Structure 1
Amino acid sequence: FGYWLGKWGGWSLLVKIGRLFRISEAQLQEVKTEFKNNAARAVFLGRFIALLRIFAGPLAGIAEMPYGKFLLCNSAGALIWAGIMVSLAFFLGQLVPLEQIAAWVAQFSVLALFLIAGAITLPRWLETRKRSFNPGE
């Protein structure tokens, strides 16, 4: 879906999004050219890099990478990525009991929840406090 989105209208959408982030069309054209020159490598390695994984398909479509080549690179990257992840999960499962992994995930989740809550509430609290010390603002 991402490939076809990029191929049939992705460039105009990318230019509009680029304007929101103050990225000129010339800069986007440079990125498109660079991606085109390294498309196979970018799509294959995109499986291993979270943000690139999301954008590799649409960028391949925008760069007019042939669909067969995109499918081959994307599938090969996905198969190798999945094999590595399954192997890591298997070996980690052999080394560490599932209960221990679940405990670590629970601890991390609690920590992440507090960090997210703090990131949301702290700026608001600081702004409120700043206004109370500077009532004219």
Structure 2
Amino acid sequence: MNTITNWLGGLSGPVIYAVVGALVFCEDAFFFGLVLPGETAAVLGGLLAVHGEVSVWWLTVVVVVAAILGDSTGYAVSHHFGDRILATRSLRKREDQVERAREMIRVRGASAVFVARFIAFLRALMPALAGLSDVPYRRFLFFNAMGGLCWGVSCTAVGYFAGAAFTRIESQVGQIAGAVIAGVVVLALAVWAYRRHRRTHPPHH
């Protein structure tokens, strides 16, 4: 996590927007989330916004738009390739999870797209499964947009406020450490003075 954060932090503002947006988009469009969840990128982007690398408002817009477009692309890809997309090696290893996701669509319909947005594996898979299940695109787009909006705002907010809290704590660490060291020094001097007093003024019996 720290390596990715440092790498993103070393980029210029516009490039950070592009990288975070691309990771969020690819997660849903091409199952990229099976390797690196777009959620991680969105949270890290919010973290960088605390330090002024990017605007948290524009970053949120980028994340939300990328999430909606990524889902829509995943939906379209499934129409083009059909069930062949489920024959990939990574998905064959997760047949049970894929079947549970398909059952979720059968039970919930298009609303499953909204729910899946907040579950890492399903977030990457659900748009394609919705397309394979012949969910009408208009209904898909509605729940896709609602999910992308709620998810994008919450992820960037988590990164931003967590980063702000860490920054406040970090700024106080020096003061706290100084107080602790001062306390230890005072205690050590008090012990030293007490022992010296005992040596020079031994108790009389």
TM-score, normalised via structure 1 length: 0.54
Give the direction of change, closer, same or farther, for the CA distance of 1:9–1:66 in structure 2 (3 Å limit): same
The 8 Å contact of residues 113 and 126 in structure 2, kept in 1 or not, is answered as yes
In the alignment, what sits opposite 1:74?
144
In the alignment, what sits opposite 2:106?
36
- What displacement does 1:72 show? 1.1
Structure 1 counterpart of 2:107, which letter?
Answer: N
- The answer on 1:3 being equivalent to 2:79 is no
Query: Could you tell me which of 117, 122, 131 is aligned with 1:52?
Result: 122
2:134 is paired with a residue of what secondary structure?
coil
Unpaired stretches in structure 2, ≥5 consecutive residues: 1-72, 171-205
In the alignment, what sits opposite 2:131?
61
Q: Could you say what the CA RMSD is over the residues aligned between the two structures, in angstroms?
A: 3.3
Unpaired stretches in structure 1, ≥5 consecutive residues: 101-137
- What displacement does 1:8 show? 3.2
Give the direction of change, closer, same or farther, for the CA distance of 1:98–1:69 in structure 2 (3 Å limit): farther
Distance 1:22 1:91 in 2: 35
2:118 is paired with a residue of what secondary structure?
coil
The 8 Å contact of residues 33 and 63 in structure 1, kept in 2 or not, is answered as no
Aligned residues: 96
Distance 2:166 2:148 in 1: 26
Identity percentage of aligned residues: 30
Report 1:1-137 matches (<5 A): 1-14=73-86, 16-17=87-88, 32=102, 34-97=104-167
Give the direction of change, closer, same or farther, for the CA distance of 1:97–1:86 in structure 2 (3 Å limit): same
Structure 2 counterpart of 1:74, which letter?
Answer: N
Distance 1:22 1:78 in 2: 25
